[in-house]
Structure 1
Amino acid sequence: MIPNHERLYRGVSHAAWAYFFLYFNINLGSINILPDFVCYLLLWSAIGCLEEEERDLTLLRPLCVLLGVWAGADWVFTLFQEPLDGQFPPVDLFLAVAAIYFHFQLFTDFAHLAARYQPPGEELDRSLLRLRTVHTLLLTAVAVLTWPFPNGTQLSFSDGSFQEKLAGLLLLGLALAGLVVALMLMFGLFSLRKYFRPTEEET
């Protein structure tokens, strides 16, 4: 079967921009104008574009819906100064595990696409797998670090107990590392997108 490069190009584009919404926040008061639920809307679209080429992506649809609905509900509740995040620790833990698995498998599938279409001599698939692993470790570290501080407790490296100061410093370091990895993930996906530039016939 000849792949529809325009469809693949659009799917990878949506996935790349999805991570922009996930990792970059611009707040106007309590409102984040780059809400996380937009990330999952874009990833839902990306899965629809890519699932014929990478069948395993279909299995991620339920998790994409779950994470997107929760992110949307949290955004709405935040408008009324009552965010859902931190209010239900068992649910938060379940969602953290679901997000870790979702993004791990998603980038595994992207690496498979890269391995299939990259020119000889390029190793974008290996790069995506390395980024996937680092991303997974960061998500796990954040989940473990914030779990002892339920109900939205704000961690700080200047106030609070020694444990809270230490946790705040670690979270700051993880946030900076996460920003770097987020940029590298986006660049990796934009590099993958280049393999699917529509041909003249498809255009």
Structure 2
Amino acid sequence: MVTAWRMNDWEGIRYLLGHRFKSGISQFFITMVATVAADLTVAILVGIVYSALLYIVKASHINVSFSDIDASRLPGAPGGALPKAGVVYVTGSLFFGAVDEFSRLMAEMPDYREVIFSLRGMPSLDVSGAQALLELRARLKEQGRGVAFCGVAPEVRLYFDRAGITALAGESGFFWSADQAIFALLEKERAAV
């Protein structure tokens, strides 16, 4: 008990309790109980495993939101020149723990003819996430829908390259921002008219 008492940073613990960080408080108590029940080595291992589980649970949440593109609000855009198009904002890591949620959310996507995926909020993905995006991209291509990606992090782009998403989308399907993708879509529509 003395070891459990002395090993703590009490100023940090007061901060956790004062700000009611539930995960931090639970980590503190689990590690302290493990120290008393077993020893410091076991307590450290229990604390690490518990922290990893908390991280996985938090990281498995992914947000997807859809935003229609109103071409009439864009400067220099002729009215009605833009087909039914939208931006899909993805926030969170796309890994094996979030793929099912991502697929469920993507099933709710409006019937956009042109889809721009804004991935600036997606810091990472794994093989399962890359496979889910590849299958989604292939399905949208079969349906005749245009797809562009913007704000892709370098680590995510490596997975895109290796999974074949880049080859399927083409280099012209990648943009720095959603604005650039929207204006490229407008230029494509103007050229087609």
TM-score, normalised by the number of residues in structure 2:
0.25
Which protein has greater RCO, CA pairs closer than 8 Å, 6+ apart? Answer: 1
Q: Is the strand fraction higher in 1 or 2?
A: 2
Q: Is the helix fraction higher in 1 or 2?
A: 1
TM-score, normalised by the number of residues in structure 1:
0.24
- Say which one has the larger Rg: 2
